[in-house]
Copies of this chain bind each other. A is one copy, B any other.
Amino acid sequence: MKTYDVIIIGAGSAGLSAQKKISQQTNNYLVIDQSPLGTTCARVGCMPSKAFLQTAHDYHRRLIFGDLGILGEETLTVDLPRILSQVRSLRDHFVASILKNMESWRDKHFIEGQAHFIAKDTIQVNGRSYKAKTFLIATGSSPHIPEPWKKFSTFTLTTDNFFEQKTLPQRMAVLGLGPIGIELGQAMSRLGVSVHGFTKGHKIGNITDPQITSQAIQTLSQEFSLCWDTPQIQQTQSGELTLTTGNTSCVVDKVLLATGRKPNLDTLGLKNLEIEWNDQGSPRLDENSLKIHKAPIWLIGDANQRQPLLHEANDEGSFVGEQCLKKNPPPFKRRTPLSIVFTQPNMATVGKTHQQLQKENINFVTGSVSFQNQGRAQLSRENQGALSLYIDQKTGHFLGAEIFAPAGEHLAHLLAWSLDQNATVSELLSRPYYHPVLEEGIRTALKDARKKMHTEKV
């Protein structure tokens, strides 16, 4: 049997990034994917969700038209079937571009099918065996379906089928208010769906800072109902669902399950191999190489549950694709942490979160700004939200930030790139701030931190 240099299992973002690097080193490789092709990002993730959110945010903006002197907003309506269909056509455009990029190597190197390991150096696909020196598992992840919901499957949606809907019902519940739940919850609500959000504990999006969390909850709960518990489920006689927490309940037509994603590892036959497992039931990885201990198998992208973010998946794929054939690869170095949730205002975290800083017992001061009275935010009628910067109390170094602010995605990049350069408060204050811009809010927060560095006790 022929032995391949590399077999990549999974043609998603991580797998394709790896393929690009591997194809520069060898022709003796295979990519296996059970389809549909096109990546989680383009098919059911980043791209369709952002297209959907865009319409929601644009439509919501009508509410300030009167103040601005634009008349007639009350006659604007949304056509949900058309919105979902334009989301799908944008999605198709992005998927097509990914498939086009695969064309040049697809015939020679791609096999459609489900792979499972029968030995550390052999997989089976469609009943045939393939041997390789190196395997890259990049099988991605799938929405997690909580146990109690399995019997209500006619009522439940996940991101796998959400964008396939021809329209949306009048009343929706969203289970889980992490990044996906809060984004789609707000968007559906802005598009006229009556939305009830449920999550366990007062945590929202990607935010850990109690002050920013409370700002976000206060702002978003003006748009749709947020409930901080897991509901009891009951089907009504008229074919709807009643969701009950404590002594309140609501009736909904469908439920979007957004309670996290689990890695797609179950069908890979990894249990057949003599490898080590961690407490979460995943293969034990070397963090420096992303390689499974005692096997020539790397685990990259969402499948390894490290950082289920597109840019991190690409980085892992590129790194492992570049290094897995080499003798003494350098350790994998992650970029400065950056996570963004595309609600309005945007949520974002940069560097160390508030939670991490507390856990690590780091001595920091928090510089804060509210955007309620920020000049540009007032001019553009987006004066909601707040931003917290964390500064090392002793050295003045910038450590991280949590953001719930207009143009938060841009402010987050600015701060993440600054963190990358190990900047201090005074260095950041010496940067140019144009006028009138939202970035001036960062300056206010920095000045607040500088004052606290001098007044708060170490």
**Chain A 72-114 against B: per-residue CB contact (8 Å), 1 yes, 0 no?**
1101111110111110001001100000000000000000000
Chain B proximity mask over A406-418: 1 for CB below 8 Å, otherwise 0? 0101111110111
A251 within 8 A of B: no
A5 CB to closest chain B CB (Å) equals 27
A311-B435, A336-B432 are known contacts. Are A414 and B410 too (CB-CB below 8 A)?
yes
Q: What residue of chain B has the Cβ atom nearest to residue A380's Cβ? A: B54
Query: CA A67 – CA B86 in complex, angstroms?
Result: 7
Given contacts A376-B50, A417-B414, contact A70 B65 (CB under 8 A): no
Contact with B along A40-53 (1 / 0, CB 8 A): 01000011001100
A431 touches B336 (CB 8 A): yes
A378 at the interface (CB under 8 A from B): yes
Query: Does A279 belong to the interface (CB within 8 Å)?
Result: no
Contacts of A47 in B (CB 8 A): 375, 379, 436
- B contact residues around A431 at 8 Å (CB): 335-336, 416-417, 420
0 or 1 for each of A400-428: is its CB under 8 Å from B? (1 = yes): 00000001011111101110110100000
Question: Do B430 and A420 have beta carbons less than 8 Å apart?
Answer: yes
* Interface set, chain A 298-349, CB cutoff 8 A to B: 309-311, 314, 335-340
Chain A 351-370 interface residues, beta-carbon cutoff 8 Å to B: none
Question: Which among A59, A72, A311, A413 has the greatest number of chain B C-beta atoms within 10 A?
Answer: A413
Encoded as 1 (CB less than 8 Å from any B CB) or 0, chain A from 107 to 141 comes to 00000000000000000000000000000000000
Which one of B381, B418, B420 lies within 8 Å of A54 (CB-CB)?
Answer: B381
This protein's copies in its complex: 2
Which residues from chain B contact A78 at a C-beta distance below 8 Å? Answer: 69-71
Q: How far is the CA of A412 from the CA of B407 in the complex (A)?
A: 14
Closest chain B residue to A310, Cβ basis = B435
Does A264 make an interface contact (CB < 8 A)? no
A54 near B432 (CB under 8 angstroms)?
no
Q: Name A's B-contacting residues (CB within 8 A).
A: 41, 46-47, 50-51, 54-55, 58-59, 61, 64-65, 67-73, 75-80, 82-86, 90, 93-94, 309-311, 314, 335-340, 375-376, 378-381, 407, 409-414, 416-418, 420-421, 423, 430-437, 439
Q: Please name 23 pairs of A and B residues whose Cβ atoms are closer than 8 Å in the assembled complex, sorted by A.
A: A47-B379, A54-B379, A68-B83, A69-B79, A69-B80, A69-B83, A69-B85, A71-B77, A71-B78, A309-B435, A310-B434, A311-B435, A314-B435, A340-B434, A407-B407, A410-B411, A413-B437, A413-B439, A416-B432, A417-B417, A417-B431, A421-B421, A421-B423
